[in-house]
Amino acid sequence: MIKWVRKRYVLPLVLLAVAITTGCYPVLKKEGQHQPQEALKEVRFSPPEFSDDMDRDSLILAVEKNVEYLGRLAPDSVFHYGPDDFTVRQVRESQEVFLGLLSKGLDASQLSREVRKKFQVYRAAGRTGDGRVLFTGYYEPTYEASLVHDEVFRYPLYRVPDDLIGIDLSLFGERFKGEKIIGRVDGKKVLPYYSRRQIEVERMLEGRGLEIGWLKDPLDVAFLHIQGSGRLRLSDGQDLPVHYRASNGRPYRSIGRYMIEKGFLRRE
């Protein structure tokens, strides 16, 4: 049931926030227990001007993905916006209206005016006492890359090889519930998949047509693996997005911890 007389739509203020941080930030101290209904507050008077410092197409794509996701949920399920409850149907409707506004070709001031007029806006309440809010953003690195191997771009990024398999051990008994292993089949044997040394130094995957692109520095390759996604900036200016698909099943070892243990860096 809609809780307002005039039909307005739900828009958490954080959807249009442009001030995000991708670097390190001091750990915030927990101060008391907060109830979910205290996390957001409705902006009843003087909602802010909305702006966006990125391209409109990427925002449209993000909202389309939201609508797609909401379409997979039960329509009568409930989301909590501070003290107010809204069904999935209502939230999806609000996203569709917002998408319609984005598709009209409005300039920034016109779009801001329409959002202020049509939407019920919520803001993050922040920490008790000072109202501080910390927004974080997902860092997506960009590396110079090439689709062709040469003397500069020598270090490959691979797609998932055909011989990498995942085995769900829970199928073999209750005691293995939740466990799985990654490996490869060699004849009648299941072996651990190739290690990073075997892949990057001994070139066990070379010559199999698995290369997505080449980077300048092996450390860039390692950091891209750790980060999980990024963009390859090609010589013609185009970006090729890449993201995590699978691992070799080996345990993760921190480069920083390794350097500390070897005495290359002090822990400080």
What kind and span of H or E run contains 76? none
CATH topology of domain 142-261: Ribosomal Protein L25; Chain P (2.40.240)
Query: Hey, what amino acid is at 223?
Result: F
* Tokens read off for 199: 């892949």
- Are 230 and 142 in contact by the 8 Å Cβ rule? The answer is yes
- Which residues make Cβ contacts (< 8 Å) with residue 101, sequence separation at least 6? 111, 114, 115, 118
Query: Hey, what amino acid is at 163?
Result: D
Query: Is pLDDT of 29 > 70?
Result: no
Q: What percent of the chain has pLDDT over 90?
A: 62
Q: What are phi and psi of 189, to 5 degrees?
A: -110, 145
What are residue 10's DSSP bridge partners? 120
In this prediction, residue 5 has a pLDDT band, given cuts at 50, 70 and 90, of very low
What are residue 192's DSSP bridge partners? 183
Q: Exposed e or buried b for every residue in 121-159, given b needs 16+ CB within 10 A?
A: bbbbeebeeeeeeeeeeeeeeebebbeeeeeebebbbbe
Query: Is pLDDT of 1 > 60?
Result: no
Query: Is pLDDT of 16 > 70?
Result: no
Q: Residues 210-232: what's their mean pLDDT?
A: 93
Sheet strands side by side (includes 239-243):
155-158, 211-215, 142-146, 229-233, 239-243
- Are 45 and 132 in contact by the 8 Å Cβ rule? The answer is no
- Per residue in 51-99, pLDDT tens? 888 888 989 999 999 999 999 999 999 998 888 999 999 999 999 999 9
Q: What integer pLDDT is reported at residue 45 of this predicted model?
A: 82
**Using CA atoms, how far apart are residues 145 and 67, in angstroms rounded to an integer?**
34
Q: What integer pLDDT is reported at residue 24 of this predicted model?
A: 42
Domain residue ranges of the chain, discontinuous segments joined by +: 9-124, 142-261
- Per residue in 133-167, pLDDT tens? 888 888 889 999 999 999 999 999 999 999 999 99
What are residue 242's DSSP bridge partners? 230
Query: Is pLDDT of 13 > 90?
Result: no
The predicted model scores a pTM of 0.56
Any idea which residue has 């950091």 for tokens?
223
In this prediction, residue 11 has a pLDDT band, given cuts at 50, 70 and 90, of low
What kind and span of H or E run contains 111? helix 108-118
Q: What integer pLDDT is reported at residue 20 of this predicted model?
A: 30
Q: Which of 32-46, 161-175, 244-258 has the lowest mean pLDDT?
A: 32-46
Q: What integer pLDDT is reported at residue 111 of this predicted model?
A: 92
Q: What integer pLDDT is reported at residue 10 of this predicted model?
A: 56
- Which residues make Cβ contacts (< 8 Å) with residue 112, sequence separation at least 6? 49, 50, 51
Q: Which of 10-14, 179-183, 194-198 has the lowest mean pLDDT?
A: 10-14
